[in-house]
Amino acid sequence: MPENSKLNVDETFESQKEIVTTKIIPALLKVIDPETYPIGEGILYEMIHQRHRHQREEALRKTKTTDTQTKESMRRHKNSRRKEVIYQSV
């Protein structure tokens, strides 16, 4: 895909909404076989939006100080472990 059609994680998804609706989604719909993988524009839009959000969060996380990154990583790990305990006991 050309560089001018790619999403930039430094910008918000809303500011790049036009690129998604006019270039990316039509290109994906041409490539995807509708018989094998029937999918609508709305679902593709949500998939792209979620992927961009997670990439942007990760990029913003990397700009923080190492101390903040470590604290956040520890917090996320604890939350993950807490979920494992909840799911195992159910």
Residue 53 within any structural domain of the chain: yes
Backbone angles phi, psi at 69, to 5 degrees: -60, -40
* Predicted TM-score of the model (pTM): 0.72
pLDDT grade for 82, boundaries at 50, 70 and 90 = confident
By the 8 A CB rule, do 48 and 59 touch? no
pLDDT grade for 89, boundaries at 50, 70 and 90 = low
What pLDDT is recorded for position 90?
Answer: 55
Mean pLDDT over all residues of the chain? 88
Residue 78 within any structural domain of the chain: no
Q: Note the pLDDT tens digit of each residue in 17-56.
A: 999 999 999 999 999 988 998 998 999 999 999 999 999 9
Tokens 């918000």: give the residue. Answer: 12
Range of the domain at 27: 3-65
Residue 74 within any structural domain of the chain: no
Using the predicted structure, report yes or no on whether residue 78 has a pLDDT greater than 90: no
By the 8 A CB rule, do 19 and 5 touch? yes
Residue 15 within any structural domain of the chain: yes
Extract the tokens encoding 64.
């923080």
Residue 40 within any structural domain of the chain: yes
